[in-house]
Every structure is written in C-alpha cells, then in structure tokens.
Homo-oligomer: A and B are copies of this chain.
Amino acid sequence: MPSRSADDDPRLGDVSEGTVLRAILARTAPASHAILGPGDDAAVLATPSGSVVATTDTLVHGPDFRLAWSSGYDLGWKSAAVNLADIAAMGARPTGLLVALAVPRDMRLSFVEQLADGFRAACEALAPGCSVIGGDLTVSDVLTIAVTALGDLEGRSAVTRAGARAGDVVAVAGELGLAAHGLAVLFGRFRDGDTPIPVDATRLADGERAAVDAQLRPSPPIGLGGVAAMAGATAMMDISDGLALDAGRMASASAVTIDLSRATLGSDPQRALTGGEDHALLATFPPDVLPPGFRVIGVVRERTEAGLLCDGQPVDAAGWDPYRDWDAATG
C-alpha cells in the first residue's frame, strides 16, 4: 500500500471518536442480513428461522498477540475468524459481527482502518454474506478486540458437543497443529532476546510461511459447519485449545470415550494433539456418513475411565490456559 505520512495518519488521541468510527464504517461491507446496520443504539439482524446463534471471543495484546508480528489487518482477520469458527461449529451460518475495540490513544488511525479491512476480508473470504453490523470504540492502555458473532441455523437444530454416540466416527475439517507450528517459528526465529521482531518472510521456507500465516490469519473451514450439520453430524466443536483438550471436552460432554488414530494426525502427531488456535472443526458422524471436506481421525467408544485415547492408550489432555500459560510479555 502507499506509504502515508504521519500528518495524514493522526494518533487516535488527536481525533474525535466520530472520525475513527467514520473511517471504520467506510471500510465495512453493506450488511446483507441486517435489517438495520451500524449507526443507531443497536443493529437489527434478520433471523428467519426463529433463533440466533451467538458467541463472543476476545483478543488481548500480550496473551493473544504481539504487534511486532501481527498487523492491524491480521488482527481484524483473526478476531473475525475465531468467532466465525464458533458459529460454524454449531452447524450455523454466520450472519453478523459486533466489534468492541479498546485502543490506546497513541495508535494511528491507519491501524484501526487496517483492522476494519481485516474484518471485511475475513468475512468475504470465510463467510460470504456476513459483515460487521455494529460495534463500540473506547480507549484503553491495552489493545483489546472483543468480537461477538451471530449466526443462523437455517431451520436445522444446533449441533452441540454433547451428541457423540458410541460407534460414530470422529472426523476433522481443517488444519491440526499448523498454527502452533507457526507460533513456534515466530517465537524461535523472530525475537531479539525476549523481544518480538517483525517477520522477514524471505527467511521462511514455504511450509514455515504457511504455518506463520495459519497462526496470524487462520482460515478455518467455516462453510463446512453447515455441511456437517446437513450431513447428520451428531456432535461438533471448533478446536481452539488443541485436539487433545477439545476432544476430551467433547467426550466428557457426550459421556463417551474418543479414540484417535495417531497415523491420521499427520507428520507431527504430538503437535496435532496439543497445538491450539487452528480452529479446525471436530465432528462425529454416524459410521456410514462422511461429508466432503472431513477426514476420519478416530472412533467413538462407550465411556471408559479415560475420556480420550490415542490408538487405545490414554492421552493427557493438556492445552493452552491463558491464566496459567501467559508469561506477561507483550511487544
């Protein structure tokens, strides 16, 4: 993009809230499901099937991202994508986003514009027809992006994580461990001591570049949520905290045991089991059903003491816990 002088790109502390909001709204797409879009006390979204699916997820500077690695565009994209994935994981179609931004006053207007571009691009790429229908802007010393996503079940029932039955197959759509690989590349190669430094793409092999992209701008298979529901998925969830932890949660909610097959977990099964932030869709299907886009990675068994097995052996279900795992670094 053309470079922009600091005179053309004021800090947020030097402009009015209205100026910032106008810059954002100029960059969000028309809201195709909205009866009333941004600009009033609240938005109104059509819900033709008589219910709305709703979820919220927040990205916080420090535990969730580093500004040396993520652009505003990346952060807009990612904060949209992780919320869209939760809607898809219920078997629903995303229809609208509400974006609550808390932004330090010394950030540039162009950063907020990039955020808005990222929201729009992620919606267009991952969930066509979904767009930003409302939001809120406030000031904070810590950049915080809280997104609420809304969706429509199109007449179907929601697919919860509690419906897996013994005899079902366990299947996944999307990447396993790729985002964690990307995070390892960032922490291993793009820090000066403990300080994150910008990513130099010329220093990345092709596989590493895909991994870093998956970490910074994940592309979960949003459209496959509705496909799985229509095909008869008995349970579904998105894998945000790692396959082992999330499959264990599904097994507990469904009162079954999930037995994964290590051979199906790719070249680094351990990373596939423990790596978070891929936002792949984990689903169970009756044994004769497997919709396009999904691959089998295990089976559902009657509940035993261990809720999660891999090749018949118990797996320790560890994953990311922000209160335990964040080291208070930012950058």
Interface residues of A (CB under 8 A from B): 12-13, 15-17, 20, 35-36, 39-48, 50-58, 60, 62-64, 85-87, 89-90, 92, 96, 98-100, 102, 105, 133-142, 144, 146, 148-151, 153, 158, 160-162, 237-238, 253, 321-324, 326, 328
Name the distance in Å between A75's Cβ and chain B's nearest Cβ: 14
Q: Are B138 and A63 in contact (CB under 8 A)?
A: yes
Contacts of A136 in B (CB 8 A): 56-58, 146
Q: What are 15 A-to-B residue pairs whose CB atoms are below 8 Å?
A: A12-B323, A17-B321, A41-B87, A41-B90, A42-B86, A43-B55, A44-B53, A44-B153, A48-B50, A56-B99, A56-B100, A60-B144, A64-B138, A105-B323, A141-B328
Q: Are A158 and B36 in contact (CB under 8 A)?
A: yes
Q: Are A46 and B40 in contact (CB under 8 A)?
A: no
Q: How far is the CA of A237 from the CA of B140 in the complex (A)?
A: 26
Q: Are B87 and A42 in contact (CB under 8 A)?
A: yes
Q: Are A44 and B158 in contact (CB under 8 A)?
A: yes
Q: Are B135 and A56 in contact (CB under 8 A)?
A: yes
Q: Are A40 and B102 in contact (CB under 8 A)?
A: no
Q: A63-B140, A139-B63 are in contact. Are A133 and B54 (CB under 8 A)?
A: yes
Q: Are B148 and A140 in contact (CB under 8 A)?
A: no
